[in-house]
């Protein structure tokens, strides 16, 4: 057979494979997901207004090392639509779940395995997952790739510090073969076509997903066992490294987490994207009769004796609770020193704090809570003395064994009516929707790490924060100021929030700061967020956030001084009393101004390197 004839037959085969293509559009028609079967197996692609977001890529799952996406036939297609809203503690107080969905029946011809690919297309992204029925114990693994468009710019960090790395801006071609990348991976599309971010959601009973570069623009999904153990895990759990390098088995039906691509023409769309929690299961009304508004779940601000000194005695913590009450904060977070106290001292502190409207949260290493019996013992003690919540630290791995522990802790914490803050954790995956007692997740390089901070802190709102709630522990006025200013540090409390907003600064230093009156008024949850057009990843973060009828404007700068203009058109009608906090010549000073302003006004803001600006607008 001639080479020309071979080529023609190959092209004909490709045409026959691609003859059946399935597409799913977002409700507004701007985003399209396409699926087809090719010679190498199932392929998919995603576009925004006909511009590529994900180039043709492999999509699939392996079960017991059989790649179910190779040699498949399409079966029944079941379209559906989601259209609901629900209360939320995120960039806005009401989340919107509006998607076109499609369940696609597939059959792997050689094994006869029938399974389903479920896809949802939202106006701000897509999500998909695999469902493989069956019984017994089986081992699933990944076969999905995200092929990014050539010319994309990416913001990435590796997993050596688990999810506490510092994002670097790179061209897509600069990602080396084999490089590990922590989701969410945010990238800017070439030709100013928009932005996208890759992550996962609905992670339950399964190993977490990381990404690995192939050096050709492809990011391959990998499960937790395949990711080299991080430094903190090797440090604390060396005996578990080999065991958790083995893939996890699933008993019964296999339901993968959702693979998510958040997509937007601008950064405002990305920051306000609800997909990660939309695809997570809603809370069980038996445990949470009013969802996130269940009476014992209270978001709030916390003081913390750790990064800025403190007297870690009973009397010292009473003083912290007294200062928390003076600030109007709701919590006092105690690190591990409390474990050396007699229970009577802890109860005395809890009772003293409660009288002042302050709840106590206790830190504990997950190594001390290795099984349900020990978790119950601690949680029963917390309930006995009246503790409000727990901060559990040092997970440091995404193997299913560790992922299962999160749910065990949250389930038992709900039983004992405790709020939860996870540290040393993996990126959020919507678990806070299913378990609304989860009010904080670290998975971030916070102020606990030494600076420099400026560029890092104007990158996080558009990268890590897209996955969901964080615990950055913002705002410090003394030795950890590093390359930032006081105004920048105040703005961090607005730009890097969490329903449980833990402040790094000693409460006495907050009260002594000239910005204290504004800091006391910054909430931990918001009704509305607008990302302003001057924002640029790693350069400037400019957000307007609303709580009730009060707006806060936070503008933080990266490494290069600049002057920016901000239009106040996010304000409602009428006049507003404005308090403005500006940089001064010295980083540890501010200028505070008082004005009356309207939505038709603009502000010119001069930002030094690492500088910041805060405005509060009260109708």
Q: How far apart are CA 521 and CA 614, in angstroms?
A: 12
Which H or E element spans position 380?
A: helix 372-385
Q: How far apart are CA 497 and CA 342, in angstroms?
A: 34
Q: How far apart are CA 309 and CA 305, in angstroms?
A: 6
Q: Helix 314-327 vs helix 343-354: angle between axes, to the nearest 10 degrees?
A: 20
DSSP character at residue 585 = S
Tokens of 347: 């109860």
Q: How far apart are CA 171 and CA 169, in angstroms?
A: 7
C-alpha distances (whole Å) from 194 to each of 24, 52, 127, 265, 542 are 20, 10, 18, 4, 18
What's the pLDDT score for residue 8? Answer: 40
Burial-class residue 28 by CB neighbours within 10 Å (0-12, 13-18, 19+). Answer: exposed
- Which of 115, 117, 118, 124 has the alpha carbon at shortest distance from 101? 118
Tokens of 351: 């009772």
Q: How far apart are CA 270 and CA 200, in angstroms?
A: 15
Low-confidence ranges of the chain (pLDDT < 70): 1-19
Local structure of 294: helix, strand or coil: coil
Q: 574: left (phi > 0), else alpha (psi -120 to 50), else beta?
A: left
What's the pLDDT score for residue 2? Answer: 47
Tokens of 599: 């939505």
Q: How far apart are CA 250 and CA 254, in angstroms?
A: 7
- Which of 505, 479, 515, 513 has the alpha carbon at shortest distance from 613? 515
Tokens of 45: 């692609």
Backbone angles phi, psi at 211, to 5 degrees: -125, 145
CB 298 within 8 A of CB 523: no
What's the pLDDT score for residue 105? Answer: 98
- Which of 446, 478, 457, 423 has the alpha carbon at shortest distance from 310? 478
Q: What is the largest CA-CA distance in the chain?
A: 90
Q: How far apart are CA 503 and CA 478, in angstroms?
A: 13
Q: How far apart are CA 429 and CA 416, in angstroms?
A: 23
What's the pLDDT score for residue 370? Answer: 84
Sequential DSSP letters for 128-195: EEEEE---SEE-EEE--EEEPPTT-EEEE--STTTT----EEEEGGGSPTT-EEPSPEEEEPGGG--E
Question: What pTM does this model have?
Answer: 0.96
For residue 24, how far is the Cα from the chain centroid? 26
The counts of H helices and E strands in the chain are 13, 38
Q: How far apart are CA 45 and CA 513, in angstroms?
A: 52
Alpha carbons within 13 A on the beta-carbon side of 443: 24
Tokens of 581: 């906090």
Which H or E element spans position 501?
A: strand 500-502
What's the pLDDT score for residue 14? Answer: 40
Alpha carbons within 13 A on the beta-carbon side of 559: 8
What's the pLDDT score for residue 19? Answer: 54
Q: What is the CA radius of gyration of the chain?
A: 25
Which H or E element spans position 593?
A: strand 590-597
Local structure of 432: helix, strand or coil: helix
- Which of 502, 433, 477, 507 has the alpha carbon at shortest distance from 612? 477
What's the pLDDT score for residue 3? Answer: 38
DSSP character at residue 291 = G
Residue with tokens 């990416």: 154
């Amino acid at each position: 057979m001639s080479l020309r004839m071979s080529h023609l037959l190959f092209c004909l085969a490709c045409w026959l494979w691609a003859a059946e293509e399935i597409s799913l559009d977002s409700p507004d028609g701007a985003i399209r997901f396409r699926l087809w079967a090719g010679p190498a197996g199932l392929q998919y692609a995603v576009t925004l207004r006909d511009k590529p977001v994900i180039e043709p890529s492999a999509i699939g799952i392996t079960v017991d090392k059989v790649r179910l996406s190779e040699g498949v036939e399409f079966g029944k297609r079941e379209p559906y639509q989601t259209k609901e809203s629900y209360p939320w503690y995120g960039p806005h107080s009401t989340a919107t779940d509006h998607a076109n969905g499609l369940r696609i029946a597939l059959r792997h011809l050689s094994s006869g395995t029938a399974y389903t690919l479920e896809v949802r297309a939202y106006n701000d992204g897509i999500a998909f997952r695999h469902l493989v029925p069956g019984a017994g114990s089986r081992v699933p693994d990944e076969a999905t790739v995200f092929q990014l468009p050539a010319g994309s710019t990416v913001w990435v960090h590796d997993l050596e510090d688990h999810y506490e790395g510092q994002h670097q801006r790179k061209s897509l071609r600069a990602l080396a073969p084999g490089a590990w990348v922590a989701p969410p991976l945010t990238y800017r599309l070439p030709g100013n076509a928009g932005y996208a971010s890759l992550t996962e959601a609905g992670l339950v009973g399964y190993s977490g997903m990381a990404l690995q570069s192939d050096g050709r623009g492809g990011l391959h999904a990998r499960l937790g066992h395949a990711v080299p153990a991080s430094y903190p895990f090797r440090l604390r759990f060396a005996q578990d490294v080999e065991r958790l390098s083995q893939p996890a088995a699933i008993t019964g039906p296999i339901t993968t987490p959702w693979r998510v691509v958040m997509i937007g023409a601008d950064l405002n769309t990305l920051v306000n994207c609800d997909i990660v929690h939309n695809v997570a299961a809603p809370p069980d009304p038996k445990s949470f009769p009013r969802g996130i508004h269940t009476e014992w779940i209270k978001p709030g601000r916390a003081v913390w004796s750790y990064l800025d000194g403190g007297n870690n005695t009973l009397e010292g913590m009473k003083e912290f609770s007294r200062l928390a009450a003076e600030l109007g904060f709701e919590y006092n977070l105690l690190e591990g020193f409390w474990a050396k106290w007699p229970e009577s001292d802890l109860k005395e502190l809890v009772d003293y704090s409660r009288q002042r409207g302050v709840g106590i949260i206790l830190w504990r290493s997950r190594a001390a809570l290795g099984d349900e019996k020990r978790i119950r013992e601690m949680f029963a003690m917390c309930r006995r003395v009246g503790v409000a919540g727990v901060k559990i630290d040092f997970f440091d791995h995404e193997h299913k064994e560790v992922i299962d522990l999160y749910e065990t802790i949250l389930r038992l914490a709900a039983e004992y009516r405790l709020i939860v803050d996870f540290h040393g954790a993996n990126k959020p995956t919507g678990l806070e929707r299913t378990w609304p007692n989860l009010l904080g997740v670290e998975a971030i390089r916070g102020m606990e790490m030494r600076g420099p901070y400026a560029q890092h802190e104007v990158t996080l709102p558009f990268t890590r924060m897209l996955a969901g709630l964080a615990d950055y522990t913002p705002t410090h006025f003394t030795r950890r100021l590093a390359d930032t200013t006081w105004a920048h540090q105040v703005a961090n409390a607005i730009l890097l929030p969490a329903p449980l907003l833990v402040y790094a600064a000693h409460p006495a230093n907050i009260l002594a700061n000239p910005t204290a009156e504004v800091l006391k008024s910054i909430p931990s949850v918001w009704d509305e967020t607008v990302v302003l057009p001057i924002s640029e990843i790693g350069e400037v973060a400019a957000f307007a956030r609303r709580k009730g009828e009060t707006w806060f404007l936070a503008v933080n700068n990266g490494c290069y001084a600049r002057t920016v203009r901000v239009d106040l058109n996010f304000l409602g009608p009428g006049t507003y009393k404005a308090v403005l906090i500006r940089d001064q010549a010295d980083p540890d000073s501010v200028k505070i101004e008082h004005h009356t302003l309207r939505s038709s006004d603009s502000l010119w803001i001069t930002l030094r390197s690492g500088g910041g600006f805060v405005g509060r607008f009260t109708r």
